[in-house]
Structure 1
């Protein structure tokens, strides 16, 4: 990832719990910056990097990610004390995402999505265990009539408990509330196309994008590269069979047959 430096803090975005901010940088670009000092901490940024860079390499649309150097001094004009505290706790390296001007939040009742694209996105979300793409909060944008994926900080939840991480490879993915469930996602085709591409080389390329400083001092690991290998191991094991573990519809409880008298009454009413 390229590295830029913030030069002007524009405004906070209060839609998400992490309270990212719109910041202009020295490359004349404008970015949505997710701060290391937010409550979710550096692991949310690691998840953003892995999910975002992996999605991009699989052909999904994700805003460009950059290493973002931030000096809290440029945010001194922000009047909200809570925001000021966040900025002061986030000096140094953060994560920037290209700001998409004029983008609209995805509404599944307004914007149609083809079955093939829906299948690829649902399969990808299942791979990274994204629990934050429901119809209530799609975390997708429509920009120039294309669908863009954002906000992957809640993915890879296994890294909050590394002792049980290897079991995450076999965990089902409940997509019943997924924002794209209503578009008949073609999971089978997506799995045939995407699963073979998630190999060791691709995952090694993706995890190399994570800054060392976000991986140091991880309990149980000797250093950043060992943490990277752990992410790769879980995702590689999951990729091969995750398509079979996606649940698109809520489980239906077995219905008891109606009593004979009721069935007879219904049939008689229908015959009249």
Structure 2
């Protein structure tokens, strides 16, 4: 069956509901013109559009691999939106975030995943660990799991810390081939006993066509400005090349994760 190009809806933010004061990014719950609530990631926050690119690419890859991920939408913030906001810090954030931002559908009444309360089966644990090793996601630890339980199912959220190499782009071709040392801190590593089986299955899914279709979603104006590349398209293709190279060398991070797991048990 031919692969279907993913599409993201675009919504307009109509109401700032409440801030979520987590870390330095200051995401917020907002209401959009489709009458749904979203967790909005702002382009004007500390990590800028790079965190949005990581969220977008990782989130859509997770969806292709069959994980439960909140719907992602492009969220337009009008220039007049923050004028009535009394909090000066939030007002500045809104002003610096005019234009296209990224929203995640708000999972009302979801609870934070707690490994001491909820047991994840070995297959799903292996899938999540493998995926985070692929995207170099440092934020899936016991202290900050970035997973939710919603209607008794596990959902992955908040991938803004993935692809940390892109904050400098130094030696990124070599970094694509390296193991992922932070796997030792992954909250699901103790249960990840099926990494080799997951490796074979997931590599077959993430074809170059799939990777290209996902990076093509990155808005061009997120690829300009602070960039070492000659053009937005060259910048876009660097993400694709990183992922394709990393997929060709998955045995490196699979072995690293397996060794880290043995050290735990």
Unmatched runs of 5 consecutive residues or more in structure 1: 253-272
| Other structure's SS at 2:38 match | strand
Q: Would you say the 8 A contact 2:38–2:104 is kept in 1?
A: yes
Q: Which of these two proteins has the greater Rg computed from alpha carbons?
A: 1
CA distance in 1, matches of 2:69, 2:215: 17
CA distance in 1, matches of 2:169, 2:190: 34
CA distance in 2, matches of 1:164, 1:102: 42
When residues 99 and 28 of structure 1 are mapped into structure 2, their CA distance, relative to the original with a 3 A threshold, is: same
When residues 59 and 243 of structure 1 are mapped into structure 2, their CA distance, relative to the original with a 3 A threshold, is: farther
CA distance in 2, matches of 1:163, 1:84: 34
1:66-103 Cα deviation digits (max 9, x unpaired): 11001254445544321221112111111111100010
Q: Which of residues 218, 224, 239 is equivalent to 1:231?
A: 239
TM alignment of 1:125-140, pairs within 5 A: 125-140=132-147
Q: Which of residues 51, 59, 64 is equivalent to 2:58?
A: 51
87-96 or 182-191, larger mean C-alpha shift: 182-191
CA distance in 1, matches of 2:244, 2:50: 20
Q: Which of residues 214, 222, 225 is equivalent to 2:222?
A: 214
CA distance in 2, matches of 1:70, 1:140: 27
User: How far off is 1:135 after superposition?
Assistant: 0.9
Q: Would you say the 8 A contact 1:47–1:152 is kept in 2?
A: yes
Partner of 1:270: none
Q: Would you say the 8 A contact 1:217–1:223 is kept in 2?
A: no
Quote the RMSD (CA, aligned, Å): 1.7
Unmatched runs of 5 consecutive residues or more in structure 2: 1-7
| Count of residue pairs the alignment pairs up | 252
User: How far off is 1:242 after superposition?
Assistant: 2.1
User: How far off is 1:237 after superposition?
Assistant: 1.0
When residues 80 and 243 of structure 1 are mapped into structure 2, their CA distance, relative to the original with a 3 A threshold, is: farther
What's the TM-score once normalised by structure 2's chain length?
0.89
178-187 or 231-240, larger mean C-alpha shift: 178-187
